Amino acid sequence: MGRYILKRLVSAVPVLLGITVIVFAIMAMIPGDPATAILGSYATPENVEKLNRDLGLDKPAVQRYFIWLWNMAQGDFGRSFSLNRPVLDEVLDRFGATLVLAGTAFVLCSVLGVAAGVVSAARQYGLADKAITFAVLLGISIPSFFLGMMMILIFAVELRWFPASGMWPIYGDRTVLVLMKHLAMPALALAVVATGVVARLSRSAMLEVLRQDYIRTARAKGVPERGVIWRHALRAAMVSILPVLGIQAGFVLSGAVYIEMVFQWPGVGRMLVDAILKRDILLVQGGVVLVAACYVMFNIVVDVAQSLLDPRIKT
């Protein structure tokens, strides 16, 4: 097992390099002059040229890539001109908030989604199945940002159950309970779509598995129905559910961008959108690379879990 983890970690290196290449290549397509964007249109040509030299932009692209890569390897992601602080510091500050939000939503969508899918499949065409199917349809059709806005309107403005925005109150203690109150609505809004997707897939995976011969064998042995569903069928269905959970983690991270905007959550998504609108290239590059790298690592965890689940995968 240790060897397998090591192998997967080694195989992540080209993927990470590929990510930096893709990000760099996309950013290199930017038309016009970043220096002009930074200095504004009133800058003198001398100033622009000087800044270009300072930023290393007078060098060829390939060379610039390797300089950027080398600097990143040393922990230097450059400096954000719009915030005037190191990119790495800013991204790490923001990423914690995103992890809390996306992590909670991910746990919610995994647990609720799989449970809903299993119940739905076990009661196929029953009342529970129909109710879940309808809820799932609603969940995957509603834009998460619209759902968030409606939740603010109802639960924050009308009922005053939860605070409307932010991660922490401006004044007051920063306790877990306070955090949970702030987290409840955004995490739920973020989890809804993913829960729907996971529930749908879990249902069809379960239905597929329940038709298999080994389920009939379990029944022929006299295994009670509960054991058939949760021990035999779910275990086998997890083999196809787990990779989807990995993909959903990416969707939850993605959806966090909208939710952070709606709920004023101080996460990395909002930072990226601001950075794009301000054309703060280094901040965009650094943020994208770091978040993508985390996602790659998470998917290694998923792969390892998959290999623990399925002995047929060669480790």
Partner 1 sequence: MSTLALLARNRLALAGLIVMGLVVVLALLTPVLPLPDPDVTNTGNRFVKPFSEGALLGTDHLGRDQLSRLMWGTRLSLAVGFAAAAIAAVLGAAVGIVAGYYGGRVDNLIMRGVDMLMAFPYILLALAIVAALGPGLLNALIAVAAVNIPFFARNIRGITVGIANKEFVDAARLAGMNDARIILGEVLPNVIPVIVIAMSTTVGWMILETAGLSFLGLGSQPPQADLGSMLGEARAALITSPHTSIVPGAMILVIVMAINLLGDGVRDALDPRLRSGALTRPMAATLVRREGPVPEPVGDDVLSLRDLQTQFHVKQRVYRAVGGVSLGVKPGECLGIIGESGSGKSVTALSVMGLVASPPGVITGGAVHYKGEDLVGAPYGRLRDLRGREVAYIFQDPLATLHPLYKVGDQLVEAIRVHHAISNKEARAKALSLLRDVRIPNPESRLDSFPHELSGGMRQRVGIAMALANDPEVIIADEPTTALDVTVQAQILSLLDTLRREKGLAIVFITHDFGVVAQLCDRVAVMYAGRIVEEGPTRALLEAPAHPYTSRLIACVPELGGGKRALHAIPGLPPAVDDLPPGCAFAPRCDKAQPACREGEIALETHGARKLRCLFPETELEGRA
Residue 251 in contact with partner 1, rule: CB under 8 A: yes
Q: Please, are residues 206 and 118 in contact by the beta-carbon 8 Å criterion?
A: yes
Does position 225 bind partner 1 by CB under 8 A? yes
User: Which of 83, 86, 208, 240 is the binder for partner 1 (CB under 8 A)?
Assistant: 208
Q: Interaction with partner 1 in 140-159: which residues (CB under 8 A)?
A: 140-143, 145-146, 149-150, 152-153, 157
Give yes or no for residue 273 binding partner 1 (CB under 8 A). yes
Q: Does 18 bind partner 1 (CB under 8 A)?
A: yes
Beta strands, E only, the chain? 79-80, 85-86
DSSP letter, residue 30: -
| Cα–Cα distance, 209 to 214 (Å, whole number) | 9
Binds partner 1 (CB under 8 A): choice among 34, 90, 288, 303: 288
The encoded tokens of residue 1 equal: 């097992």
Q: Is 207 helix (H, G, I), strand (E, B) or coil?
A: helix
| Cα–Cα distance, 207 to 85 (Å, whole number) | 53
Which tokens sit at 208? 């597929």
Nearest partner of 215 among 242, 237, 197, judged by Cα: 237
Q: Applying CB under 8 A, which of residues 85, 214, 230, 301 lies at the interface with partner 1?
A: 214
Stretch that binds partner 1, among 48-56, 62-70, 179-187, 249-257 (CB under 8 A): 249-257
Comparison of 153 and 180: residue with beta carbon closer to partner 1:
153
Pick the stretch among 25-33, 38-46, 84-92, 172-180 that binds partner 1 (CB under 8 A).
25-33
The minimum distance between CB 5 and partner 1, in angstroms, equals 18
Binding residue for partner 1 (CB under 8 A) from 232, 241, 242, 303? 232
Binding marks (x or -) toward partner 1, 296..315, rule CB under 8 A? x--x---------xxxx---
Site for partner 1 in 67-126 (CB under 8 A): 121-122, 124-125
Report the relative pairing of strands 85-86 and 79-80 from DSSP bridges: antiparallel
DSSP state of 164: S
Q: Kindly report the number of other CB atoms within 10 A of residue 135's CB atom.
A: 16
